[in-house]
Structure 1
Amino acid sequence: MDDVAVPLSGHQARSGAPLDGTLENLRASAIAVDDDGLIVAANSAAQSLLGREASELVGQDFHDLLHRDRYGHSVPRTRCRMRKAILTGETRHGDAEWFACGDGTLVQLSWLVTPYSPGPGGTGALAMLYEPKPGDVRHTDGGHSAPLTELDRLSLLAETTTQLTSTLDADEALHRLAALTVPRLADWAVFDLLTERDEVRRVLVMEHKDGILVERDDLQGPMPPVPAESPMPLSRALRGAASSLAGPATYQGPPDSGIAVEQQRLFTATGMHSAVIAPIRGLRDVLGALTLGRAQRHDAFTPADLPLLEDLTRRAGLALDNARLYQRQRKVAETMQRHLLPQLPVLPGLEMTARYVPAPDASSVGGDWYDAFALAAHAHALAIGDVVGHDLDAAAGMAQVRNMLRAFAWSHSEAAPSAVVTRLDDAVMHIAEVPMATMILARLTLGNDTLWRLRWTNAGHPPPLLITHDGRTRYLDEAHGILLGTGVTRPRPDAVTVLPPQATLLLYTDGLVESPHHSIDHGLDRLRRHAASLAHRPLDSFCDLLLDQVRPSDNDDDVAMIALRTPPPVGPA
């Protein structure tokens, strides 16, 4: 391979001077950088040593691309002696530091940086990399680990705060904390959490093995209850006592509880010779405990390590508290939604089903709704609507609108849908706490000819879709009026259609067809085509497949659907 030079920032780039051929004549690994620390050339030996082609090196910042600590993390620029030597034009030497190879592995190398002129008028530096002699290596991952500096500790705590506050998923938070602490602080991370019923579960055990984190499912699972008086470290931590050190000898005696038996098993299975155990506290309760253990490293934890662990578990406790609060809110919202959405009536010969899917990133409840209820002996009401928003406020507004609609429709069971919706619109303006809403109200009746008829009005809602048994489709886009809550008074139209035998009628909300990256017409056409292809499917399967195939992947709204299918034609008597 030839050394490569490209125009870059700094004096080298400004001068445009080509590199001479001296780099390739060097048997040692050599990398030339300009006065901004950007790589301008690398000889074959350096490319081979680092497992990187010249094209992967040239133009990149030497420090950012290559220099790492022993755990694979970037070395802070302010602490990098190599970078300082490059920028100041000094000659410096370092032993046994870590560099990132092209395949993601780390290689421990010694280095020499010295001023170097890549061409006439050019300034820069030459970095020589070489494998250290055994006596030069000051520490390895399998031996004694150097203690963290105060800057290391602050950096770890800042990174932990950032990582844990950016998720509301408890499992994800625990995995992130494990990745932050292993192998930086330990070879093992063990999380024991208390459930809302004060049961203990070992929810996560992570091991650093062969350079990667491995989850040990065989060591996870339910744990015995927390003993009230046990002085053992994990039992104390789960009761909220202070953090403590532990080792295999801690649990060698006769176990005083089931948890002590599990701890004996843990230390035997992991080979940990030293561990620190700290409680994970929430704002009000103890949530669990974190155990960090060392097996491959020879050095043991000391009391000086406990304050850092307590700082980490304090942040973990806040993250878990937030995640659990979010999950409780989701559960409340889902329960509320189940109670708000009605049971569908049974109509002889007519199939009917409904679906509701919450917004992906909201509180699992929203303003989309459907309803179906009897008006008279041979008439039923169908309704679907969407109150602006997808949160608890929208759900409360939805409940108001739905209940008022039922009252108006039942008290005027012979009224046209348009008349009922006109009264509802007036009530929304003066009574309900709803900014705006869309809806369709339909009256379904069975005629003397045994055919079902649909009379409906539409208040700013996506049109119903009618699919015949042979796959022909038609949007019922008649009777379209303005949405509810605008304050504008206009006559609302009605329309009537006969539903053919074995036809499917679909009422839906805009979350099924709307996408921020496509027009509503695109979504409607997509729905029509998929509905036609599924016309022969059973009604439940029809709805499930529509949701799976039609709902846009980038949709951030909830979806409500109600579908019905008419019976086959009545044969001659």
Structure 2
Amino acid sequence: MKEPEATETDFRKSSGVPDVRLTDALEAIGAATYVVDEQGRIVAVNSLAERLLGRSAEELVGQDAHELLHRGPQGQSLPTSQCRMRQAFHARRPAQADKDYFARADGTLLPISWLIAPWGTGGRDAGTLVIFHASEQAHDAGARPEQADDRLSEFERLALLAETTSQLTSTFVVKEALDRLVSLVLPRLADWVVIDLITERDEVWRTAVFQADGNTLVQHEDLQGPMPPVPAESPMPLSRALRGVASALAGPETYQGAPDSGIAAEQRRLFEATGMHSAAIVSLRGTRDVLGALTLGRARKPGNFTGADLTLLEEIARRAGIALDNARLYQRQRKVAETMQNHLLPQMPRVPGLEMTVRYLAAPDASQVGGDWYDAFTLADGATALAVGDVVGHDLEAAAGMAQLRNMLRAYGWSQQEPPSRVVERLDEAMMPITDVTMATLVFARVTETDDGDWQMSWTNAGHPPPLLITRDGLAHYLTAGHGLLLGTGVCTSRSDATVVLPPGSTLLLYTDGLIEAPGHTLDDGLNRLRQHAAALAHRPVASFTDQLLRRVQPPGSDDVALLVVRIPGKTHEGTD
């Protein structure tokens, strides 16, 4: 359950506070640069832009860039219909111009040349990158014609680096980062790209080999796979790059002699298979270690790589290395978090007659465990306790609070031979002084078998989505009785219990709100969708019921999902998966 709060991005937009991480990225571009959001407001600016405009970041961030800066040749305000930059901004496409005007803080005009490109991959943080130069610096009286061409090439270089930063820093998935890197350099700079990565076991794996066939990227899996170990002293280009020693240019002749290592032999095979006549090989570095090497090759593309190309490729590789390092760190943290969550969540007890299954789905966009949980355990009098809850928050603190709350509930449930409502009242009273949990929701139930062989459930609900009961004939309804305030409000109130007889062959579903919440839809929409799919699957065996239900409902992934399903014994009905 997520805390309702304003986002950090919203705060910056409303208060004019610069985005520090984005500003750091802009400083690396090496030209006057700022980023605007989807409304055209400046969200970040680097120091070069501050100096040229005579304005501080605090004066620029939050302002409409067009209204503040864009001017005509005489210093007049420029209608948006006459502003080329604004038109390209609305079309969300790259564009550039050799001569326009910005207004400085002192009222003077700054002749500029500019380039803009979309920033980000969409969503709330999408925007536009603006790179500009003072035109008088590029058009001095003594400037030679070729200098203008150099300046234009520099623009294209800066645009590529900006696009690389934007594309690679917006994902924490290694494969996606590699795919984006391939698309950035092919066919723009080469017609072959090879990515060799060093695994966490210090083994080299040729992870990606792609060829540009026109605008189509073709993967050559036959050239991918494990590589020999990196030699410690080899002077060959790929070996040096994988050791982080230096970047280098290479050609078929580089590997014509007797190979000094297995990697050199593989490189000769690569040149023969691809027909590359020129290659540039650079290291992929993380914050602490060398992660691998990036090779760009030209076969059909004319011209050989030069030392100037190496400088650009090193900049691209530096950004790619940081992105890969962050993605690997994220995946390691996520694996640790999921392992911790699996250990925190309990194993289900074996209860004669009852079938129980559970599922836990971690939100795919979160690197930390959350506060969603389920539990089932046998009570002192032989009844079976069921619980599903959700602690406010989505981080390690929420997970720790969840574990505290679950353990306390077990202790109270076992020691207090009382109805669920009284157990939850005691839990609520003790929660604030004993735990770090601020608020939580919970359904706590007792399931017992009566003397005549029926099963019944008594429960209380502390602000949680209601349990769903589905008969084996497909009649489904929510158990809305026994509802009360969520835990942690500080309000002393008596909680109520509700009791229901569970029909033979029926299915009981306890879940957290991640199963029914979806952006753009109401909770009623989610509840109706869950009820309809659960009713349609009532005849399925319990494991198939659970898996098919998750597949059909398709939780949006913005929150974790905890799911506890109980099948009441009855006449066996065959189901098919």
TM-score (norm 2): 0.72
Aligned-pair CA distance for 1:417 = 1.0
Asked if 1:319 corresponds to 2:339, the answer is no
Judged with a 3 Å threshold, the aligned counterparts in structure 2 of structure 1 residues 390 and 512 are, in CA distance, closer, same or farther, namely same
Counterpart residue identity of residue 356, structure 2: M
Q: How does 1:262-411 map onto structure 2 within 5 Å?
A: 262-363=266-367, 365-376=369-380, 378-411=382-415
Aligned-pair CA distance for 1:258 = 1.5
Aligned-pair CA distance for 1:62 = 13
Judged with a 3 Å threshold, the aligned counterparts in structure 2 of structure 1 residues 173 and 448 are, in CA distance, closer, same or farther, namely same
Question: Which residue of 244, 249, 255 maps to 1:251?
Answer: 255
- Which residue in the other structure is 1:470 paired with? 473
Distance 1:265 1:146 in 2: 37
Counterpart residue identity of residue 497, structure 1: V
Distance 1:221 1:495 in 2: 61
Aligned-pair CA distance for 1:494 = 1.0
Judged with a 3 Å threshold, the aligned counterparts in structure 2 of structure 1 residues 75 and 268 are, in CA distance, closer, same or farther, namely farther
- Which residue in the other structure is 1:442 paired with? 445
Distance 1:478 1:283 in 2: 56
Asked if 1:223 corresponds to 2:227, the answer is yes
- Which residue in the other structure is 1:199 paired with? 203
Q: After TM superposition, which residue ranges in structure 1, 4 or more long, deviate above 6 angstroms?
A: 59-65, 145-148
Is the 8 Å Cα contact of residues 458 and 498 (structure 2) preserved in structure 1? yes
Distance 1:161 1:474 in 2: 51
Deviation by residue 1:453-476 (Cα, 9 ceiling, x = unmatched): 211111011111111111122321
Q: How does 1:420-499 map onto structure 2 within 5 Å?
A: 420-499=423-502
Is the 8 Å Cα contact of residues 208 and 214 (structure 1) preserved in structure 2? yes
Deviation by residue 1:306-338 (Cα, 9 ceiling, x = unmatched): 222211111111111111111111101110111
Task: Structure 1: give runs of 5+ residues left out of the alignment.
Answer: 1-35, 37-58, 66-72, 81-144
Larger Rg computed on CA atoms: 1
- Which residue in the other structure is 1:180 paired with? 184
SS at match of 1:347: coil
Question: Which residue of 517, 521, 525 maps to 2:524?
Answer: 521
Is the 8 Å Cα contact of residues 443 and 456 (structure 1) preserved in structure 2? yes
Judged with a 3 Å threshold, the aligned counterparts in structure 2 of structure 1 residues 461 and 478 are, in CA distance, closer, same or farther, namely same
Counterpart residue identity of residue 430, structure 1: P
Asked if 1:505 corresponds to 2:525, the answer is no
Deviation by residue 1:287-312 (Cα, 9 ceiling, x = unmatched): 00001111113321222322222111
- Which residue in the other structure is 2:98 paired with? 78
- Which residue in the other structure is 2:217 paired with? 213
Judged with a 3 Å threshold, the aligned counterparts in structure 2 of structure 1 residues 474 and 151 are, in CA distance, closer, same or farther, namely closer
Asked if 1:169 corresponds to 2:173, the answer is yes
Distance 2:458 2:567 in 1: 16
Task: Structure 2: give runs of 5+ residues left out of the alignment.
Answer: 1-71, 73-81, 101-148, 573-577
Aligned-pair CA distance for 1:182 = 2.1
Deviation by residue 1:333-361 (Cα, 9 ceiling, x = unmatched): 11011101110001112111111111232
Counterpart residue identity of residue 324, structure 1: R
Counterpart residue identity of residue 98, structure 2: T
- Which residue in the other structure is 1:415 paired with? 418
> Identity over the aligned pairs, expressed in percent?
65
Aligned residues: 440
Deviation by residue 1:133-182 (Cα, 9 ceiling, x = unmatched): xxxxxxxxxxxx99983333222222211221122122222222222222
Counterpart residue identity of residue 208, structure 1: A
Is the 8 Å Cα contact of residues 380 and 415 (structure 2) preserved in structure 1? no
Distance 1:569 1:260 in 2: 69
Counterpart residue identity of residue 563, structure 1: V
Counterpart residue identity of residue 76, structure 1: Q
Distance 1:160 1:470 in 2: 56
Is the 8 Å Cα contact of residues 187 and 214 (structure 2) preserved in structure 1? no
Asked if 1:235 corresponds to 2:235, the answer is no
Distance 1:379 1:503 in 2: 18
- Which residue in the other structure is 1:549 paired with? 552
Judged with a 3 Å threshold, the aligned counterparts in structure 2 of structure 1 residues 248 and 374 are, in CA distance, closer, same or farther, namely same
Is the 8 Å Cα contact of residues 513 and 551 (structure 1) preserved in structure 2? no
Distance 2:85 2:288 in 1: 48
- Which residue in the other structure is 2:575 paired with? none
Distance 2:501 2:495 in 1: 21
SS at match of 2:376: strand
Distance 1:306 1:475 in 2: 65
- Which residue in the other structure is 2:565 paired with? 563
SS at match of 2:405: helix
Is the 8 Å Cα contact of residues 511 and 551 (structure 1) preserved in structure 2? no
SS at match of 2:231: coil
